[in-house]
Amino acid sequence: GRKHDGKNGLLVYHPALMDAVRERHDIEASIELGLREDLFEVYLQPIVDLGTGRIAGFEALMRLSHPEQGMLPSSRVIEIAEETGLIGRIGERVLEKAIGHLKRLSALDGIESTYLALNLSPLQFEESLPTRLAALLLKHEIASTRIVIEITEAVLLADNPDMHMVMAHLSEFGCRIALDDFGTGYSSLSYLNRFQVDIVKIDQSFTRTLASDQPDVRRKSRMLIKGIRTISQQMGCAVVAEGIENKEQWLSLRRLGIDHGQGYLFSAPLSIDGLIEMLEEKSEVKHGLTSSERLEE
Ligand code: C2E
Ligand code: MG
Ligand code: MG
Ligand code: MG
């Protein structure tokens, strides 16, 4: 963490830079500790049918909590794990735990045919992935058609030579492919043409602006969402909206014809025990809306 001072040739330490170096080092150390001590957990967030409120699936989200520092920010953990190459080992743990969780959930009434959405980084598209996934599904007696693989444009941009073949194998095998954070990266639209995509996940930034206090911003985000929906559906893709935090956003998305959605309004990502407890208590999340909510609008 040293920076060359161009004026007098002295090496000076910049506090902000030192903080960044320390933060990175701490997270790297936590990842190594997490792998050694099996501290990686998988939380699940329900994805619901926006029309009925019923659960259609769950997104698996990695969680790493440090014994003293508590929960670490997942996006940073993933970023650093990708840079250091540790993502492969984390991904392996996440895959195993997530599928074990789906098995447990499948025992619950009304949850038998829900899907599991797994986030995968570019480096995880190894030749052996389909076989490893198949072995896990066989072990837990779970149909491959219940698996959704969420990728971002980074996966497609990385141009990993194995990726096309791996994606084709996963599709043949019955898994669906979801394009995550849609609408935020570069040339999103062209990917719908070049790859076999089954589900488009509209980025949460669009959901957020849908409830903006500026009417013009609200109107524009409705138009963008409508456009994404039309294109996606015409290409045969289902559409999922992310980051639904209030009823206004939910109702707007429903009016815009979006099939599914997820967000704090329905449920935050929960530990498996927390989720099972919630599903046993809150029947509306499991069994859909009450008739008054369904009719309201
Ligand atoms: P993502 O796949 O787009 O996941 C959605 C993120 O939105 C999650 O953040 C989730 O907790 C958060 N979220 C859900 N509902 C709401 C809401 O109503 N409002 C807001 N503001 N946020 C909401 P999280 O869990 O921190 O994960 C961040 C990112 O890290 C994920 O974005 C994904 O790209 C990556 N990630 C998480 N788990 C894994 C994993 O196991 N493997 C890989 N490769 N990446 C993962
Ligand atoms: Mg995702
Ligand atoms: Mg996303
Ligand atoms: Mg994201």
User: What is the 3-state secondary structure of 33-96?
Assistant: HHHHHCCEEEEEEEEEECCCCEEEEEEEEEEEEECCCEECCHHHHHHHHHHHCCHHHHHHHHHH
Q: What pLDDT, on a 0 to 100 scale, did the predictor assign at position 3? A: 52
pTM, entire model:
0.92
pLDDT in tens, 112-159: 889 999 999 988 999 999 999 999 999 999 999 999 999 988 887 877
Whether residue 243 has its Cβ less than 6 Å from ligand 1: yes
- Please state which of the ranges 2-11, 49-58, 153-162 shows the lowest mean pLDDT: 2-11
Q: Is 226 helix (H, G, I), strand (E, B) or coil?
A: helix
Tell me which residues have their CB within 5 A of the ion that is ligand 2. 119, 150, 180
Q: What pLDDT, on a 0 to 100 scale, did the predictor assign at position 192? A: 85
Query: Distance of CA 227 to CAs 58, 177, 210, 285, Å?
Result: 26, 21, 14, 29
Whether residue 120 has its Cβ less than 6 Å from ligand 1: yes
Backbone angles phi, psi at 15, to 5 degrees: -55, -40
Whether residue 205 has its Cβ less than 6 Å from ligand 1: no
Q: Is the pLDDT of residue 30 over 90?
A: yes
Q: What pLDDT, on a 0 to 100 scale, did the predictor assign at position 291? A: 46
**Residue nearest ligand 1's atom 12 by CA:** 243
How many CB atoms within 10 Å of residue 245?
Answer: 15
**Residue nearest ligand 1's atom 29 by CA:** 75
Q: What percent of the chain has pLDDT over 90?
A: 73
Q: What pLDDT, on a 0 to 100 scale, did the predictor assign at position 89? A: 96
pLDDT in tens, 277-295: 999 887 566 555 554 455 4
Tokens representing 185 are 């990266």
pLDDT in tens, 32-52: 999 999 999 999 999 999 999
On the 0-12 / 13-18 / 19+ scale of CB atoms within 10 A, 5 is exposed
Tokens representing 80 are 């650093």
Q: Is the pLDDT of residue 175 over 70?
A: yes
Ligand 1 closest atom vs CA 87: 44
Which listed ligand is nearest to 243 at the C-alpha? 1
Q: Helices 129-139 and 163-172: crossing angle, nearest 10°?
A: 30
Q: What pLDDT, on a 0 to 100 scale, did the predictor assign at position 287? A: 52
161-185: average pLDDT: 91
Using the structure block, give the residue that is written with the tokens 């500790």.
33
pLDDT in tens, 59-107: 999 999 999 989 999 999 999 999 999 999 999 999 999 999 999 999 9
pLDDT in tens, 187-244: 678 888 888 899 999 999 999 999 999 999 999 999 999 999 999 999 999 999 999 9
Q: Is the pLDDT of residue 9 over 80?
A: no
265-275: average pLDDT: 97
Whether residue 245 has its Cβ less than 6 Å from ligand 1: yes
Establish whether this prediction's ipTM goes over 0.95. yes
To 5 degrees, how large is the angle CA 198–CA 199–CA 202? 155
